[in-house]
Amino acid sequence: MSTVLPDRTWTGPSAPERLSLLRQTESIAIVGASDKPARASYFVATYLLSSTTFRVYFVNPILAEQGKQILGHPVYASLDDLPEVPDLVEVFRKAEDTPGIVEESREAGAKAVWLQLGIWNEEAAHLAESYGMDIVMDRCVKIEHARFHGGLNLAGFNTGVISSRRQELDR
C-alpha cells in the first residue's frame, strides 16, 4: 500500500515492482555524483560498487571538466558520454532539475529514472511515464537494494521482522 502525502497525487511503483526494476538493472549512472565522502551520492556509490554487480557510472559536468575521479572511476560530463546506455539513472539533483534529467535520460536510451530520498517532482514522473520509462521517486536505491537482499539489519535499520530464530552474523 502506498502512502500519498497531501501535495502528492502520483503513486509510485510497489515494492515488488521496485524489486523487479532492480533485478532488470545491470548498469546505473549516478547523476549529481560527488567526490565528497560526506555526500549521500558518495555513500550510495560506495555501497553499489562494493555490494552489487551493477556497472556504476558517475555523471557530474564540473568534476568531469576538472578530470576528477570518484572511487577510482572516471566522471563523465553527461549521460551521452558514458561508454554504454545505463539501464537506470539515479538522480542526486534538485527536484526542479529532474524533468530535464528525464529528457536527457530518454535521449540517452535509459529505461528508468530513480530520484533519491527527498526528491519529488510529479512533472518528471508524468514525463517519464509518457516516454514509457519507469520512475521511482523519494527512495534510496541503496536502502531498497539492501532491503530486498536482507542487508538492512546489518546496516542498523529496523526491518520490522520478528522471528524466534537467532540471527547469525557472517564471520
Mean pLDDT of 37-63: 95
Q: What burial class does residue 14 get, using C-beta atoms within 10 Å of its C-beta: 0-12 exposed, 13-18 middle, 19+ buried?
A: exposed
The pTM score is: 0.83
pLDDT at residue 137 is higher than 50: yes
Q: Kindly state the helix (H) or strand (E) to which residue 124 belongs, with its residue range.
A: helix 122-130
54 grid coordinates: 551493477
Residue 21's identity, in one-letter code, is L
Mean pLDDT over each residue of the chain, to the nearest integer: 88
Architecture in CATH of 15-151: 3-Layer(aba) Sandwich (3.40)
